[in-house]
């Protein structure tokens, strides 16, 4: 039976890399009574796949992971059991049973939401109104938002505006924040750092890679013309 698990990774555990997080969950499942399925072969491993690896240093309250169980599980009990063996900063916030032929989370992912919070004093000192005008000037009215994208093989200038589905610059409790909805997945994939870098360029401020914190807040799949959270997508109504 296919299941999807939603979890948070916040605070200091943001420094745990993707592979280590995977091993963390494998061990965590072994500390519960959940009857997780294994692959065949001489060295079987738990059937487990993550929707979208989270970069080291990035926090999230909307991560998803698929796993399979051999027999039906009690959702509430399983969540309690898992949360009893988590560490500070990692918390299971939902378990969703999926329909039998549900596709893997990593293959359906289309969009991710992010909140960016700035530490950078230069950004923090921008006045509220100027910050607010970015919504129009940097995003809405811009014909394109171009940025130099470096890969191992090449460098090219790309227009990232079509991949930014939502952009909101706002101020809250004296904090300068951005809300971003970005194309994510195998088709189009935009790293939030590139958006922040483009914003620095636009503001004519020297880019500071350590000047802000990224928190991912939700992951979505696309159904027809709507985006559904991964917890809603192909979730089985029964159980």
Partner 1 sequence: MSKQALSDQILMSIDKSARYIGNEINSIKKNPEHVDIRFAICFPDVYEIGMSHLGIQILYDMFNKREDVYCERVYSPWVDLDKILRKENIKLFALESQDPVIDFDFLGITLQYEMCYTNILQILDLSQMPLYAKDRDESFPLVIGGGPCAYNPEPIADFFDLFYIGEGEVTYGALFELYKKHKKEGYDKKKFLLDASQIKGIYVPSLYQVTYKEDGTINSFKPKYENVPAIVEKQIVTDFSRSTYPTAPVVPFIKATQDRMMLEIARGCIRGCRFCQAGMIYRPNRQKDLCKLKEDALKIMENTGHEEVSLSSLSSSDYTYLGELVNFLIDEFKSKEVNISLPSLRIDNFSLDIMSHVQDVKKSSLTFAPEAGTQRLRNVINKGLTKEQILNGARSAFNGGWQKVKLYFMLGLPTETEEDMEGIATLAEDISEVYYEIPKDQRNGKCQITVSTSFFVPKPFTPFQWAPMLTSKDYVEKAKFVKSSIRSQKNQKSIKYSWHEADVTILEGVFARGDRKISKVIETAYKKGCIYDAWTDFYDNDKWLEAFDECGIDIGFYTTRKRELDEILPWDFIDIGVTRKFLKKEWENAQNEIVTPNCREKCSGCGAKKYNGGVCYENEA
* Site residues (CB under 8 A) for partner 1, limited to 206-225: 209-210, 213
Q: Is 168 exposed, middle or buried (0-12, 13-18, 19+ CB in 10 A)?
A: middle
- Give the start-end residues of each E strand in the chain: 2-9, 48-50, 59-68, 90-97, 109-118, 146-150, 155-159, 164-172, 175-183, 212-223, 226-229
Contact string 67-86 vs partner 1 (x = CB under 8 A): ------------------x-
Q: CB–CB of 233/6 below 8 Å?
A: no
Shortest CB 103 distance to partner 1, Å: 26
Strands 212-223 and 59-68: parallel
* Residue number, 37 or 93, with CB nearest to partner 1: 37
Q: Is 45 in the site for partner 1 (CB under 8 A)?
A: yes
Shortest CB 152 distance to partner 1, Å: 19
End-to-end CA distance of the chain: 11
Shortest CB 218 distance to partner 1, Å: 22
- 217, two tokens: 């807040």
Contact string 84-123 vs partner 1 (x = CB under 8 A): -x-xxx-----------------------------x----
Q: CB–CB of 97/235 below 8 Å?
A: yes
* Residue number, 39 or 186, with CB nearest to partner 1: 39
- 154, two tokens: 């090449």
Q: CB–CB of 207/150 below 8 Å?
A: no
Rule CB under 8 A: choose which of 2, 6, 9, 28 binds partner 1.
Answer: 28
Q: Is 17 in the site for partner 1 (CB under 8 A)?
A: yes
Shortest CB 185 distance to partner 1, Å: 25
Rule CB under 8 A: choose which of 3, 5, 16, 195 binds partner 1.
Answer: 16
Give the C-alpha separation, 23 to 53, whole Å: 13
Q: How many residues does the chain have?
A: 239
- Give the start-end residues of each E strand in 56-145: 59-68, 90-97, 109-118
Shortest CB 207 distance to partner 1, Å: 14
Closest CA to 31 of 91, 77, 81: 81
Q: CB–CB of 199/207 below 8 Å?
A: no
Q: Is 166 in the site for partner 1 (CB under 8 A)?
A: no
* Residue number, 46 or 217, with CB nearest to partner 1: 46
* Residue number, 82 or 194, with CB nearest to partner 1: 82
Q: Name the site residues for partner 1 (rule: CB under 8 A).
A: 10-13, 15-17, 19-20, 23-24, 26-31, 38, 42-46, 56-57, 85, 87-89, 119, 209-210, 213
């Amino acid at each position: 039976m296919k299941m999807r698990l939603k979890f948070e990774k916040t605070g200091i555990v943001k420094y745990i890399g993707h592979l280590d997080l995977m091993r963390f969950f494998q061990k965590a499942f072994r500390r519960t009574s959940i009857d997780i399925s294994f692959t065949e072969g001489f060295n079987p491993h738990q059937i487990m796949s993550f929707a979208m690896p989270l970069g080291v240093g990035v926090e999230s309250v909307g991560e998803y992971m698929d796993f399979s169980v051999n027999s039906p599980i009690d959702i509430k009990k399983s969540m309690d059991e898992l949360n009893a063996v988590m560490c500070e900063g990692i918390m299971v916030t939902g378990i969703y049973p999926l329909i039998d032929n549900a596709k893997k989370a990593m293959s359906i992912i289309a969009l991710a939401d992010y909140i960016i919070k700035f530490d950078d004093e230069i950004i923090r000192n921008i006045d509220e109104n100027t910050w607010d005008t970015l919504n129009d000037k940097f995003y809405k009215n811009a014909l394109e938002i171009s940025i130099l994208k470096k890969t191992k093989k090449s460098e090219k200038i790309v227009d990232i505006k079509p991949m930014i589905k939502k952009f909101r610059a706002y101020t809250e409790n004296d904090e300068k924040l951005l809300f971003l909805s970005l194309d994510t997945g195998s088709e189009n994939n935009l790293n939030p750092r590139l958006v922040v870098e483009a914003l620095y360029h636009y503001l004519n401020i020297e880019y500071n890679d350590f000047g802000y914190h990224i928190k991912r807040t939700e992951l979505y799949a696309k159904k027809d013309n709507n985006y559904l959270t991964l917890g809603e997508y192909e979730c089985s109504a029964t159980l």
